[in-house]
Structure 1
């Protein structure tokens, strides 16, 4: 019982000390990052804020937590945020930050709760274990949303590349039928109903209202989302705007996209085959050992 009381006292003191440290850190004058300040007032940041305002109508608990964290914490706390990946997945930045903070809070609270449970069942745990486990688990869970976003964005880029090959063929057919550059791009975007075609169609409609050329709009979208294939398509369509023959270039570009995707699929299949071959080889070695061991034991017993 003395040990349990001591652990509770130490835990309470640690929580109190953490609260005092956070209070002092909050009252200290802020040292803003110049790069972050310039980025917040850039046109790209204004576009992100406008997208957040249009998409989020009634923010939930995670969104509110993210907004509070963005206002309270400096930019250095978040590290290198996957901005392009979030834009590709259309996940607001404040929702992503709210998820990171929520996961970190779960990591801080979970080890002390487990330690208290073990204490109740007469299996006391040293106070160092939940304290260190809280810090380690909170740090890991704080970084986990970034890894999830990058993994989902990698799959989304693969889907985008596959759909972009089809879109390029459709644009080539529209140009072959005599349609203009903008009309061909917009008509091709209206054919598909998946998120890639909708995203391209929205960007083309926005370029019409902004007075931008459609290829310039696609180039901006490729830089925003980190999609070099879309930039190549924009370059081909820019040449069509200058009067060059574009049908053959578009068909060659779509063939190159399919070839690149095929090579990627082959590399993935080869890597999977190599991973399968290793346990199969190990199983063969174990089987040979099982066959040889009785004969070796008989020889050793005879000598």
Structure 2
């Protein structure tokens, strides 16, 4: 049964939570610079109010929950979201926050359900542990999407690097056949059908319509996604476009160095995996040795 001390602890926790929410409402706002500049950009500032309302109403429940969380919860005090990883995975910030809130709700509900199941089988713990476990589960699950996004972005960067090496070879072949810098980059981007080639083709097409040089567009994409290899390609193509330099050998050397680095990384990962696999084998050998030696040791001790 719930004692008066447990009730007092729960009441105190609820009062402290309420006071902290009131204090948060009156504290000075900490505006995130990237979000503020995005809201002040021409595309956002020229949007009509009815379009903004439609944008807020669009999406599924996760998107709407994320927009509500960005308006109502002190998310800026928890640090900035991983913008580069989200941009690479093409996940909107409001959807990312929506997933975090959904995971937090699940983390808060799961301990309560486990306590109910345990009490049904007669293994229930004191109910004072329920709010503690619920808060711990909500906090732990709230930060789980951060790990998922960073892990997926790490795999996507590896895939981008492998595809970029092939793209650089295609650009070099197009330049060697007499195509101009922009034409070579656009033709090479339209050859492949992977998401990397489609992303490059979209960026190059956008730069054509906006009048931006293609190497500046790739440089901007490199800074946005955190891809230094793409910045190197942009610098090489800048030399070709602005100074008329012959970059065929430079591009081939760059793609070869990227493949060599990828091969070395794969070999290092394979060696690390092999070392991890040797640990259970060694442990198994020690167990067999212990089984063989134990009878003799017991006889010596008994003697």
Matched, 1:274 2:271: no
- Which position in structure 2 is the counterpart of 1:33? 30
Counterpart residue number, 1:84:
84
* Separation in structure 2 between the aligned mates of residue 48 and residue 152 of structure 1, nearest angstrom: 29
In 1, distance between residues paired with 2:201 and 2:56?
A: 21
Alpha-carbon distance, 1:72 to partner:
1.5
- 1:39/1:45 contact within 8 Å kept: no
* Superposition deviation, residue 42 in structure 1: 1.9
Structure 1 CA distance for aligned equivalents of residues 254 and 56 of structure 2? 37
Shift of 1:78: 3.6
**CA apart distance, 1:179:** 0.1
Map 1:119-268 onto structure 2 (within 5 A): 119-241=119-241, 242-268=243-269
Q: Of the candidates 10, 22, 38, which is equivalent to residue 24 of structure 1?
A: 22
- Contact 1:4–1:119 under 8 Å retained in 2: no
Distance 1:233 1:262 in 2: 20
User: Does the CA-based 8 Å contact 1:7-1:127 persist in structure 2?
Assistant: no
**Partner SS for 1:126:** coil
199-208 or 110-119: which moved more? Answer: 110-119
Contact 1:87–1:224 (CA under 8 A) maintained in structure 2: yes
Q: TM-score, normalised by structure 2?
A: 0.86
Give the CA deviation at 1:281.
1.5
Q: Distance in 1 between matches of 2:285 and 2:267?
A: 26
Task: Provide the residue aligned with 2:99 in structure 1.
Answer: 99
User: What are the Cα deviations for residues 53-87 of structure 1, in whole angstroms up to 9, with x where unaligned?
Assistant: 89999311110000011111234344231110000
Partner of 2:49: none
The gaps in structure 1 that reach 5 residues or longer are: none
Q: What is the deviation of 1:283?
A: 1.6
Residue by residue, what CA displacement relative to the aligned partner does 1:244-294 show, whole Å, maximum 9, x if unpaired?
Answer: 110000000000110010011011001001101122112222222222333
Taking a change above 3 Å as real, the CA distance of residues 118 and 281 of structure 1, as seen in their structure-2 partners, is closer
State the SS of the aligned residue for 2:26: coil
Contact 1:10–1:127 (Cα < 8 Å) also in 2: no
* Rounded Cα–Cα distance in structure 1 between residues aligned with 2:73 and 2:238: 43
**Secondary structure of 1:42 counterpart:** helix
After superposition, the Cα gap between the structure-2 partners of 1:270 and 1:4, relative to the gap in structure 1 and judged at 3 Å, is same
1:289 is aligned to 2:290: yes
Change beyond 3 A, Cα 1:7–1:200: farther
Distance (whole Å) between structure 2 residues aligned to residue 257 and residue 47 of structure 1: 38
> What secondary structure sits across from 1:188 in the alignment?
helix
Q: Distance in 1 between matches of 2:78 and 2:230?
A: 29
Residue 48 of structure 2 corresponds to which residue in structure 1? none
8 Å contact 2:111–2:134 — kept in the other structure? Answer: yes
- Measure how far apart 1:46 and its partner are: 4.2
Q: Is the 8 A contact 1:171 1:184 kept in 2?
A: yes
Alpha-carbon separation, structure 2, partners of 1:192 and 1:55: 33
Distance (Å, rounded) in 2 between the aligned partners of 1:289 and 1:120: 43
**Kept in 2: contact 1:104–1:141 (CA 8 A):** yes
